[in-house]
């Protein structure tokens, strides 16, 4: 008789999955909102589709990952921040169309399931869901030995939100003369990590524990959480006080701002209108990265661009001042062809970033 073989022998531990999922159910339950009708573990998440106070609801969905920021989390053995990053990134992606989140689902894949690691990741997701009013109603866990290393994992998220049609932001309201207001990022957020890691570790020979005067411990600086801009911006959306929003993710200002521009208009951005955080200065000075690459790979310290009509600038700036939301007047909308123009400081790009 052939020797018996089990799923565990091939590297998949169903019992470990069950242990992790029991804790995940407990964590997720703390994010549930009244419309949630199912428990974690059902084949599908149930959410009642009734939206009080919304006359003409439009559902907005998005999906994303965290990218190679996960390498930093794994090296630092800090796992709750990347789950938080994932939710905030997705929240911002639907916010730019005016939507508030309803529910979130996650995908967690690993070579060997480590329940404490997985629950740390999910705990970060749940914290961000609670802060943003989203329910974590389901997900998928995949243990894939031989595909991922034992301590490797990847995560992705899927979000659904709702916006009343009268508050929908689609870029059609953008006009020549509109004002660009930038809201600061907390660092790289979730983009540019492959280049940052190459510069800091491969080129300069640092490690995650290296402490630099400009930024502190490198690993901690790289793990700075992705900011959600829902709280400062949703009231303005509901007052129809803004014309468009652009979430500055992969592609930087160069590629993301044009996503909300009409074909006959440009965004003219004044480099020097906001201070560049030390981490970006370090990457530029030590990495040998040229100007256009910096502006296209990194957010350069701006996480969200708010496009406002001239008649609403006072209202919007007063709102930000009242809630102590930092902001920078960074340019205007001008005639063009749907791209970004950069006004470089008189002494050059390097004088601003340095």
DSSP 110-137: ESS--HHHHHHHHHHHHHHHHHHT-EEE
What's the CA gap between 234 and 329, in Å, rounded?
20
From start to end of the chain, where are the E strands?
Answer: 57-65, 100-110, 135-143, 153-164, 179-184, 211-212, 216-217, 244-247, 265-270, 302-308, 328-335, 340-343
Give per-10-residue mean pLDDT for the chain (354 aa).
57 69 86 88 86 93 96 96 98 98 96 94 97 95 93 97 97 97 97 96 95 95 97 97 97 97 97 94 93 95 98 97 97 97 85 73
Instruction: Report pLDDT digits (tens) over 194-233.
Output: 999 999 999 999 999 999 999 999 999 999 999 999 999 9
User: What phi, psi does 153 have (nearest 5°)?
Assistant: -150, 160
What's the CA gap between 104 and 31, in Å, rounded?
10
Tell the CATH topology of 179-353.
Phosphoribosyl-aminoimidazole Synthetase; Chain A, domain 2 (3.90.650)
Q: Where are the domains of the chain?
A: 13-37+54-167, 179-353
CATH code of the domain made up of 13-37+54-167 = 3.30.1330.10
Looking at residue 1, its pLDDT comes to 57
Q: Check if the beta carbon of residue 223 is closer than 8 Å to that of residue 78.
A: yes
What's the CA gap between 17 and 141, in Å, rounded?
8
User: What phi, psi does 96 have (nearest 5°)?
Assistant: -65, -15
Instruction: Report pLDDT digits (tens) over 123-157.
Output: 999 999 999 999 999 999 999 999 999 999 999 99
């Amino acid at each position: 008789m052939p020797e018996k073989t089990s799923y565990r022998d091939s590297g998949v531990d169903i019992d470990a999955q069950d242990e992790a999922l029991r804790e995940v159910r407990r964590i997720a339950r703390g994010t549930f909102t009244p419309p949630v009708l199912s428990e974690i573990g059902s084949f599908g998440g149930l959410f009642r589709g009734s939206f009080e106070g919304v006359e003409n609801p439009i559902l907005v969905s998005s999906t994303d990952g965290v990218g190679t920021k996960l390498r930093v989390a794994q090296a630092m053995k800090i796992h709750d921040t990347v789950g938080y990053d994932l939710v905030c990134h997705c929240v911002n992606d639907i916010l730019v169309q005016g939507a508030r989140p309803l529910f979130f689902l996650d995908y967690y894949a690993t070579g060997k399931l480590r329940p404490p690691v997985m629950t740390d990741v999910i705990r970060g997701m749940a914290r961000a869901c609670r802060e943003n009013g989203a329910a974590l109603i389901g997900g998928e866990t995949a243990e894939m030995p031989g595909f991922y290393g034992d301590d490797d994992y990847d995560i992705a998220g899927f979000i659904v939100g709702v916006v009343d049609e009268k508050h929908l932001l689609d870029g059609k309201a953008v006009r020549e003369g509109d004002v660009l207001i930038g809201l600061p990022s907390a660092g790289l957020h979730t983009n540019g990590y492959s280049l940052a890691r190459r510069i800091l570790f491969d080129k300069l020979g640092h490690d995650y524990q290296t402490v630099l005067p400009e930024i502190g411990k490198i690993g901690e600086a790289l793990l700075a959480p992705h900011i959600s801009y829902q709280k400062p911006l949703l009231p303005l959306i509901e007052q129809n006080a803004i014309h468009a929003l652009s979430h500055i993710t992969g592609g930087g200002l160069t590629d993301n701002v044009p996503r909300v521009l009409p074909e006959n208009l440009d965004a003219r951005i004044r480099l020097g209108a906001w201070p560049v955080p030390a981490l970006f200065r370090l990457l530029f000075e030590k990495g040998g990265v040229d100007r256009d690459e910096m502006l296209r790979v990194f957010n350069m310290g701006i996480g969200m661009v708010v496009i406002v009509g001239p008649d609403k600038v006072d209202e919007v700036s007063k709102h930000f001042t009242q809630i102590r939301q930092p902001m920078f007047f960074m340019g205007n909308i001008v005639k063009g062809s749907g791209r970004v123009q950069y006004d470089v400081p008189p002494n050059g790009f390097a004088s601003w970033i340095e």
